[in-house]
Amino acid sequence: MTHHLVTSLRPLLTAEASAEAYAAGVEPGDLEQAVWLRLLERLDAEDPPRDPQGWIRRAVRSEARRTRRTSRLERPYGVEPVADGGRDPEQLALDAARGRAVRAAVRRLPGRCPRLMEALLSPEDLTYREIAGELGISQGSLGPERSRCLGCLRRLLAPEVAAR
């Protein structure tokens, strides 16, 4: 009986699922599978539908409605922006590691370069006048000093960047 029922209902279910699936935002095969499962559950409970064709039509529409309701409530993982500027946790971890590597290299710089680079990297976004006043050097020499320090920093970071 079950084989005959499945064989006779397959074309109807395929047509109904194809007609309803895309409006519900689901693949026709997924909708068919959900309806077959519902039918098997009924057959296991020894409660076969009296009107199998009508039951198939109603079951397809019911599953399509359920899918639409569910899709309104569910959100795919990774689509919603993360609180920190929309970056994902992996990117945040990589950025933090990169920042730690740069700050470690800055601490290894010679002379007054570590203080100058820390002032330039400061989250307070200091002006050249404020940095010069903090370091006790003229504002005019800040640019050339910065260039020398950045050159040293590039040489320190070159082996680390090449290793990656």
Return the structure tokens found at 153: 């920093």
Beta carbons within 8 Å of 42's beta carbon, 6+ residues apart = 48, 49
* Residues 97 and 158 occupy one common structural domain: yes
Higher pLDDT among residues 76 and 144, named by residue: 144
* Residues 42 and 95 occupy one common structural domain: no
Q: What is the mean pLDDT of residues 34-47?
A: 88
Residue 83 lies in a domain: no
Percent of the chain with pLDDT over 70: 88
Amino acid identity of residue 58, one-letter, is R
Mean pLDDT of the chain: 84
Question: ∠ at Cα 122 (104, 143), nearest 5°?
Answer: 90
> Which domain covers residue 119, as residue numbers?
89-163
Amino acid 46: pLDDT: 84
Q: What is the mean pLDDT of residues 34-39?
A: 91
Q: How far apart are CA 164 and CA 161, in angstroms?
A: 5
Amino acid 126: pLDDT: 86
The pTM for the full model equals 0.45
